[in-house]
Amino acid sequence: MITIICVIVALVVLVGMYFSYNNKEVALRKEAEAQKGKIEGVHDKMWKVIQQKAEVSNEYREAFEKIYPELISGRYANDNGNVMKWIQESNPNFDTSLYKDLQQAIEIQREYFNNAQTRMLDVIKERETLLETYPSKWFIKNKQKIEYEVISSSATKGTMTTGIDDEVSVFKK
């Protein structure tokens, strides 16, 4: 009788482990699939925010370049010995805050994108660990690899291939 109870308990534990590990694997695979969509959405938002903020900054610069000479020339066109008044007057200043805002947006959006990719790699690592460790390795039926290639620049891909990173100039000429 004790033997039968031990066998039943062992079977219940094994069946429980089978379902538990397979459910964990399914959850990780589904999270990875969802994360791919999230990465695409974050990437899309990142480029739209950066591009549109850059357009606003560029439009502001172009508008300022147009109106500033006209403002100054209009003030002093009929100069009656008052050329030096400009020293005392408040002239329009070019506001660089749009460029600071653009710079912050680039940094923030890039960080969101990096975090989304990092999460994807964490999910893949967690699933691979589940597939390769005991006892879960014995119970998981779907061992198909999650396909994902990290999105990066051609410069980074080249560095990873060659093992050399000589580019130190931010402003290439």
Domain carrying residue 138 = 31-149
pTM score, whole prediction: 0.67
Q: Is residue 94 part of a domain?
A: yes
pLDDT at 100: 83
pLDDT at 121: 93
- Total number of domains in the chain: 1
Round to whole Å and give the CA distance between 93 and 30. Answer: 54
Q: Is residue 162 part of a domain?
A: no
Q: Is residue 104 part of a domain?
A: yes
Amino acid identity, position 85: K
What digits encode the pLDDT tens for the residues 69-88? 666 665 555 555 555 554 45
Round to whole Å and give the CA distance between 143 and 131. Answer: 7
Round to whole Å and give the CA distance between 145 and 131. Answer: 10
> What confidence tier does 129 reach under pLDDT thresholds 50, 70, 90?
very high
Q: Is residue 20 part of a domain?
A: no
* Higher pLDDT among residues 18 and 53, named by residue: 18
**Which tokens belong to 44?**
């899309």
Q: Is residue 87 part of a domain?
A: yes
pLDDT at 90: 58
Give the SS3 label for residue 7.
helix
